Amino acid sequence: MRSHYKFWPKRLPHTITIPGASLWDNLETSARRYPDKAALVFFGTVLTYAELLQKAEQLAQCLRGLGVQKGHRVVLCMQNCPQLVIAHFAILRANAVVVPVNPMNRAEELKHYITDPDARVAITTADLAAELARASDALLPKDRLAHLVVTHFTDAFDAQVAGDDAPPAAWNDWLLTHHPQPTLADGQVMDWNQALAMGGGLPELQVGPADLAILPYTSGTTGLPKGCMHPHSSIMHNAVASGLWGNGCADNVVLVVVPMFHITGMVSVLHTSIRGGATLVVMPRWDRDLAGRLISRWRVTHWTNIPTMVIDLLGSPQFASYDLSSLTYIGGGGAAMPQAVAQRLLEQYDLRYVEGYGLTETAAPSHANPPDAPKQQCLGIPFISTEARVIDPDTLQEMPVGEAGEIVIHGPEVFNGYWKRPDATEAAFIELDGKRFFRSGDLGRVDEDGYFFLTDRLKRMINASGFKVWPAEVEALMYRHPAIQEACIISTPDSYRGESVKAVVVLRSTHRDLVTEQDIVDWCRENMAVYKVPRVVQFVDALPKSGAGKVMWRTLQEAEGT
């Protein structure tokens, strides 16, 4: 018996059998079982399961009318809102593939998410539509979007809402502004309500467990982000398993503030909740006092988050007025929860913060702490139906208890491979004892109880409040600045975010004394997602190089003291 089975929840099997169906079936089944139950709550407006199903089917008809067929990739670029959920399931109902895109990306970054998956249709919110149109119009005509469906946040809630459900006043310009509809070179822009009214009949549901469902992108040590091919079955496994692990049932009320474009929000929150018939209370972005009010008002039971959110909420001057007594499950990942904060949750609310671990390639959790026996600052134990090991990255031999090595993962939640990248796919997998294991690139160790702990990263990556920043991707964007001759991205300590991004830059001789550090920061804000933007820029005369001419980023990192 594996050592971690001693701590396994006694109510759960070690492996599960998942439904032989598509992800769409989960929504259809929940809508049949709980038609009048609240599926989504958004600033006080409730959408029932029957209404959610109807709108998803209406949008699926529109997609069919726009020429979307089985296997086609459709870009979905939104902050959390009901329209994201509707569109996500509509794409699946149209037998197509969801390409979830971070809404913080700018036009220069968005080009890749249009061209790499060969997307011809995108769905977005009005505040982001111009950026997507700009990205599309900058491409060659053959690569451009043919259709862009645009919604306003106010399509899903009453702009006059007041009281505990009302959005923060600081959000009014962003949420309530009626942005003009952009034009699309060689393409058509369609309003959300127009799209829902298009009609034309539903296509036959043709997809099943083995068909491609989601194509989320992940960055890495080199090059542009890579698409992770997830069939319906890998997402289905973790949706079912996460529901079981977290005591999921139809009476769960889930606070949705982790972004649903990200694998954790999409799988562990969205798909898990919809399959279980839970109610999702949706926040488009983080605000500690809105979160406190919503937990109190809607009696939230389950909250998946990143630790900085909990720290921020506990620090609110209004915190004493919030009622967190309804919470029965709180957990997350992306960064370690400080022990002092976890202890406060335990002593004050009898809540054990449950940390987990996973990657885009593993459909979020590959490891999770048992809810009744969690360890702090710990990745947890291998998830349901999952086998994980710690190996020597060079010899591939399994490491003894307590010794660090690379974490490798085998299980039904592991992706099929990287889109259009057979070379990267081959490099990402190894065979051990006749089984296919994914190489995580993370260094960890296993204790005598079978719990996994992260010790370091093989991959070069910065973790800023749970957002993964890949230096190679930021560097590639920065090289487009006319003043930059060379750039090296490293992490710098940050008391709140854990790590922040720092750029060490060599300017071209023609631009020295003409460009300031702040100019570089401002340019980055215009051309990349805000979490990737360097908080610190340092000008140097030269970057350290190896004998082979490679930039020695590790030397700069060590000099930074991290």
pLDDT, tens digit (0-9, with 9 covering 90-100), for 431-443: 999 999 999 988 8
Which of 239-248, 257-266, 294-303, 305-314 is least confident? 305-314
For the record, the structure tokens of 320 come out as 């004493």
Averaged pLDDT, 382-386: 97
Rounded percentage of the chain residues whose pLDDT exceeds 70 = 97
| Residues 333, 258: Cα–Cα separation, whole Å | 10
Give, as one character, the DSSP assignment of residue 310.
H
**Does residue 511 fall inside a structural domain?**
yes
- Which of 79, 58, 321, 315 minimizes the C-alpha distance to 190? 58
pLDDT in tens, 529-542: 999 999 999 999 98
The full 3-state SS of 136-190, as one line of letters, equals HHCCCHHHCCCEEEEECHHHCCCCCCCHHHCCCHHHHHHHHCCCCCCCCCCCEEE
**Does residue 26 fall inside a structural domain?**
no
**Does residue 397 fall inside a structural domain?**
no
pLDDT in tens, 318-364: 999 999 999 999 998 776 777 888 888 888 889 999 999 999 999 99
Confidence of residue 128 (pLDDT cuts 50, 70, 90): very high
Averaged pLDDT, 168-184: 92
What is the pLDDT, as a whole number, of residue 463?
84
| Residues 390, 445: Cα–Cα separation, whole Å | 6
- Kindly calculate the radius of gyration of the chain based on its CA atoms and give it in whole angstroms: 23
Averaged pLDDT, 170-192: 93
Q: If you average pLDDT over every residue of the chain, what do you get? A: 93
pLDDT of 138 above 60: yes
| Torsion over CA: 507, 512, 517, 523 (sign) | negative
Which of 19-23, 39-43, 391-395, 541-545 is least confident? 541-545
pLDDT in tens, 476-501: 888 889 899 889 999 998 877 778 99
Confidence of residue 401 (pLDDT cuts 50, 70, 90): very high
How many domains does the chain divide into?
1
Q: Which residue has the higher pLDDT, 424 or 509?
A: 424
For the record, the structure tokens of 486 come out as 């060379």
Domain range spanning residue 467? 462-560
What is the pLDDT, as a whole number, of residue 343?
86
Tell me whether strands 45-48 and 38-42 are parallel, antiparallel or unpaired: antiparallel
**Does residue 88 fall inside a structural domain?**
no
Helices 82-93 and 49-65 cross at an angle (nearest 10°) of 60
Q: Which residue has the higher pLDDT, 485 or 175?
A: 175
**Does residue 538 fall inside a structural domain?**
yes
> Residue type for 222, please?
T
Which element (helix H / strand E) includes 218?
Answer: strand 217-218
What is the pLDDT, as a whole number, of residue 222?
66
**Does residue 515 fall inside a structural domain?**
yes
Dihedral angle of Cα 544, 545, 550, 551, to the nearest 10 degrees? 0
pLDDT of 221 above 80: no
pLDDT in tens, 456-482: 666 678 888 778 888 888 888 888 898
CATH code, domain carrying 512: 3.30.300.30
Tell me whether strands 302-305 and 279-282 are parallel, antiparallel or unpaired: unpaired
**Does residue 31 fall inside a structural domain?**
no
What is the pLDDT, as a whole number, of residue 290?
97
**Does residue 145 fall inside a structural domain?**
no
What is the pLDDT, as a whole number, of residue 224?
85
What is the pLDDT, as a whole number, of residue 121?
98
